[in-house]
C-alpha cells in the first residue's frame, strides 16, 4: 500500500504512476492525481463522469452522488463497472485482531469494569458534539459502573481537554488514551469494548468492522446523511431534531446549537440500550 500526503509535486506523482500500473480507480477524483495518471498513460483510468476533468479518465462511470441515495461504499464499488465488473451490493467490512493484540488490549485495560465504552471526541466537522458533553457523558457512565476509554489524536486530545472543563469526579473508571495509540492499538481497544460513541468519524467504522456497536452523533447537513456515511454495523445514529441543511453557516443559522441539543442523558440512555440489545442500525432524531 502506498500512501500519498497530498503535497507531492507533479513529477513525483508521474514517477508513481509510471511504475507499471494497469489501472487506476479514482474513488475521489482529485484533479492532480487524474492529470498525473493521464500524463503517465495508465492504460485504464476510471472515475465518475460528470466533472469537467472527467475527460482525463478513459473509463467513466456516471453516478449522481449528490442525491445521497446510497452508502459511500456502494458508490465506490460501482466504479468497478468501469473495468467491466458487475460488483453488486457491498459486503459489510470485517476487521480481525490477532491473539497478541487481544492480549495487549486486555492488559492495557486491566482494572476497568468489564463493560467498557470508548468515547472518541475527535473529528473536525463543521458541527460536532463538544468536549464538555463528552466529559458529562464520561462522568455519567463511570458513575453507572461502566469503564470509559477516551481515544483520539494528540490534537484532538488537546482540544478536548481545553473544551471539557473537567469539573466533577469520574472515579477510577476512566482511562485517557488520547494521543497514545497506533491505529492497530486503537482497533484492539475497540475490540475489547462494547460500544464506541463518536461523531461521523473513522473509529465508528472500525468498530462496525470489528462487530462492536456504535452510537454516532451526526450533524444535520445533507452531505452528512447516515445513509451515505453511517457505520455498516449495529447500533444507532443520533441526529438533532432540526431541519436538514445544505451546509453549515455557523452563527447565522437559528439552529447553530443543533448538536448541543443532544444531551448527555439522551446518549447514556442510547448506550445502555445498545449494550443490552444492539441489532441492526437505527437512525433516531432526538
Q: pLDDT tens-digit profile of 245-273?
A: 998 898 899 998 999 999 999 999 999 99
- Mean pLDDT per block of 10 residues along the chain (286 residues) reads 84 94 93 96 96 96 89 95 90 96 98 97 80 95 96 93 79 92 98 97 96 96 92 95 91 92 97 86 89
| Closest C-alpha among 106, 94, 164, 175 to residue 135 | 164
Three-state SS annotation for the chain = CCCCCCCCCHHHHHHHHCCCCCEEECCCCCHHHHHHHHHCCCCEEEEECCCHHHHHCCEEECCCHHHCCCCHHHHHHHHHHHHCCCCCCCCCCCCCCCHHHHHHHHHHCCCCCCCEEEEECCCCCCCCCCHHHHHHHHHHHHHCCCEEEECCCHHHHHHHHHHHCCCCCCCCCEEECCCCCCHHHHHHHHHCCCEEEECCCHHHHHHHHCCCEEEEECCCEHHHCHHHHCCCCCEEEEECCCCCECCCCHHHCCCCCCHHHCCHHHHHHHHHHHHHHCCCEEEEEC
Q: Where in the chain is the domain with CATH 3.40.50.2000?
A: 99-285
Domain 99-285 has CATH 3.40.50.2000: yes
Q: What is the pTM of this model?
A: 0.91
Q: pLDDT tens-digit profile of 142-170?
A: 999 999 999 999 999 999 998 887 766 77
pLDDT at 66: 86
Instruction: Give dist(CA 252, CA 5) in Å, integer.
Output: 34
Q: Which residues, 6+ apart, have CB-to-CB distance to 91 below 8 Å?
A: none
Amino acid at each position: 500500500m502506498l500512501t500519498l500526503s497530498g503535497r507531492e509535486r507533479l513529477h513525483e506523482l508521474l514517477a508513481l504512476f509510471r511504475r507499471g500500473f494497469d489501472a487506476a480507480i479514482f474513488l475521489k477524483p482529485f484533479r492532480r492525481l487524474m492529470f498525473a495518471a493521464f500524463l503517465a498513460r495508465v492504460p485504464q483510468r476510471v472515475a465518475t463522469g460528470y466533472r469537467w476533468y472527467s475527460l482525463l479518465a478513459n473509463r467513466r462511470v456516471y453516478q449522481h452522488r449528490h442525491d445521497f441515495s446510497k452508502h459511500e461504499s456502494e458508490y465506490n464499488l460501482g466504479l468497478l463497472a468501469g473495468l467491466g465488473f458487475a460488483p453488486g451490493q457491498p459486503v459489510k467490512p470485517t476487521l480481525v485482531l490477532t491473539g497478541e493484540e487481544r492480549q495487549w488490549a486486555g492488559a492495557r485495560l486491566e482494572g476497568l469494569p468489564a463493560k467498557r465504552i470508548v468515547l472518541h471526541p475527535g473529528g473536525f466537522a463543521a458541527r460536532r458534539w463538544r468536549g464538555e458533553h463528552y466529559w458529562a457523558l464520561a462522568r455519567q457512565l463511570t458513575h453507572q459502573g461502566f469503564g470509559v476509554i477516551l481515544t483520539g489524536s494528540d490534537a484532538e486530545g488537546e482540544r478536548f481537554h481545553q473544551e471539557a472543563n473537567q469539573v466533577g469526579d469520574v472515579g477510577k473508571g476512566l482511562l485517557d488514551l488520547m494521543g497514545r495509540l497506533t491505529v492497530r492499538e486503537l482497533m484492539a481497544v475497540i475490540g475489547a469494548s462494547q460500544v464506541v460513541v463518536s461523531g461521523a468519524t473513522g473509529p465508528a467504522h472500525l468498530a462496525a468492522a470489528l462487530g462492536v456497536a456504535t452510537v454516532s452523533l451526526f450533524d444535520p447537513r445533507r452531505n452528512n446523511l447516515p445513509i451515505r456515511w453511517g457505520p455498516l454495523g449495529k447500533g444507532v445514529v443520533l441526529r438533532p431534531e432540526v431541519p436538514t441543511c445544505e451546509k453549515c453557516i455557523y452563527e447565522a443559522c437559528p439552529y447553530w446549537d443543533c448538536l448541543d441539543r443532544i444531551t448527555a442523558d439522551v446518549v447514556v440512555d442510547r448506550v445502555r440500550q445498545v449494550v443490552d440489545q444492539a441489532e441492526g442500525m437505527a437512525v433516531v432524531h432526538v
